[in-house]
Amino acid sequence: MNIVHKDLYSGRWRELSFYEQMAHIGSEVSRTISWRNKKQEYFQRAFERSLELFDLTTMDPRNKKRLKEVLRCRELWADYIFGGNNYSQDDRMWQKYFDAFAGATNFHH
């Protein structure tokens, strides 16, 4: 996977609160959902960016106590998009989950 958010790897990601990090992931989740049935290339890139942001979030030592939640969320997201959707998820559920983080930070995607 090609690193897209190079500036975030340099440390900028750790300047954001956990809620801001999750809201940014939510933006990529929304883009992935939006492009799924429209343009495959944009869909794929948005999905890869979402995984990259999940990974950055797990690498932030401040999120140690939230690691289980973030990793489980990443696992469910990957299952929803490219797995068998073993947990019967839907777009609305994902939007609702991440909208809570956006609302907590006044972040709009």
Q: How confident is the model at residue 102 (pLDDT cuts 50, 70, 90)?
A: confident
**Domain membership flag for residue 70:** yes
Domain assignment of residue 4, yes or no: no
Per-residue pLDDT averaged across 27-52, rounded? 95
- Position 7 in a domain: no
- What three-state secondary structure class fits 90? coil
Look at the block and give the residue holding tokens 């290339």.
41
Tokens encoding 82: 């490219």
Q: Domain for residue 18, yes or no?
A: no
User: What pLDDT sits at residue 54?
Assistant: 97
Question: Residue 100 corresponds to which amino acid?
Answer: A
Judged against a pLDDT cut of 90, whether residue 19 lies above it is answered with yes
Is residue 21, in this structure, part of any structural domain at all? no
Answer whether residue 100 is part of any domain: yes
Domain region containing 78: 39-104
